[in-house]
Amino acid sequence: MKVQCELCPKNCVISPGQSGECRVRVNIDGVLRTVVYGYPCSINVDPIEKKPMAHFLPGTGILSIATVGCNLHCRFCQNWEISQANPEETPAIFYSREKLFWSPQDLVDITKKAGCPSLAYTYTDPIVYYEYTYDTAKLAREAGIRNVLVTAGYINEEPWKRLLKFIDGANIDLKGFTDEFYINVCSATLKPVLNALILAKANGVIVEVTNLIIPTLNDKPEEIRQLCRWMKANLGGETPLHFSRFFPRHKMLNLPPTSTETLDLARTIAVEEGLEHVYIGNIASKEGQNTYCPGCKSLLVERSGYTILQNKLKDGTCPKCGRAIYGVWK
Amino acid sequence: MTRRKFIYRVVKAGSVILVGAAWLAKKAAPRRFVRAVRHDKYPGPLRPPYGIFEQGKWSG
């Protein structure tokens, strides 16, 4: 008997023995099963700045997990070796020789052992290991650990709302601002992503947005301007935006890395459109890596790569003008 | 055959066809899931946990 997975907008109809587009949600005997629950392919402690999250506990480590699989197939994917892999061919990490499975409680325990105040579901897309993310996030919340999603936000509304109850922060990719880009380059569509962004913000999640700028594909100033206008109107000017530098990867080896000029231009456009916190990532950038007060323009958090050089914030407010800065600071 | 009997037979046949069509449609439609059930066994290879407390090599 066929099953239909209604987790993401692809709504895959899956024949017995087959998987959905994500490769990890499988029809076994007429039941939809997740074959990666409890089997992460990556567990590491990263600086939170790497997610990137600039307004969420800066300078702290974050336990970061992923399983294989993704519901998108971006031609430029930087992590394609795990996101576009079959679980049959990709090693997962076992917990111990006696107990192979990493339970949600094991992840919470290792987060505490690592001294991390937060746990990230990242690298591939936590949407495809939804049940694992959900169960772990629920336990982590009870244990006082904050949960961060790094995702493309390609999910149906009902499961997204259910998951958001346990999520504190999210970096959501807005990969482009046209349906054409999403369809041709990512095998997805734009509207569900916009909806996911609005819902996350409305549910009190600290949302940061990443836009990877790819030469010739989504780098038109007018498209960037439209994206920024949409963000300002729907997410608010305080929502941080990260413009990220593209490097040729996966199926997109024919394009050059994004130029510094394009990234600087994008940042200028975003500031013109009223976004208060605009960052540039994947490249050294003096202005584009620091946090400034949107009110008095004074430097609040100075960074060098993933390192915090100084953090002048006082209880999440600017020490000079007293303005509250969007984010989670302690 | 009386008219009453004829109508009774037509209605009965129609009902049988409707019930059959509904059963077939239900059988042919996929079962719908949002939440998947955990599968006990990982289908691929497994490796020991090492380097957990180090920075990950993947982007994000």
pLDDT tens column, A264-287: 999 999 999 999 999 999 998 888
In angstroms and rounded to an integer, the radius of gyration of the C-alpha atoms of chain A is 19
Average pLDDT over residues A284-305: 95
For A36-311, give the CATH class.
alpha beta
ipTM metric: 0.93
Average pLDDT over residues A128-139: 98
Q: How far is CA A290 from CA A11, A194, A285, A295, A304, in A?
A: 41, 27, 9, 15, 8
Q: How far is B6 from chain A (nearest CA, A)?
A: 39
How far is it, in rounded angstroms, from Cα A106 to Cα A226?
Answer: 44
Q: Do A7 and B52 touch (CB under 8 A)?
A: no
B26 touches chain A (CB under 8 A): no
How far is it, in rounded angstroms, from Cα B39 to Cα A38?
Answer: 9
What pTM value is reported for the model? Answer: 0.93
How many A/B residue pairs have CB atoms within 8 Å?
A: 137
Closest Cα in chain A to B43: A88
B45 touches chain A (CB under 8 A): yes
pLDDT tens column, B4-60: 999 999 999 999 999 999 998 877 789 999 999 999 999 999 999 999 999 999 999
Closest Cα in chain A to B38: A34
Nearest-CB residue to A123 (from B37, B49, B56): B56
- Which residues on chain B are in Cβ contact (under 8 Å) with A7? 33-36
Backbone angles phi, psi at B19, to 5 degrees: -60, -45
Task: State yes or no: pLDDT of A93 exceeds 80.
Answer: yes
Q: Do A87 and B42 touch (CB under 8 A)?
A: yes
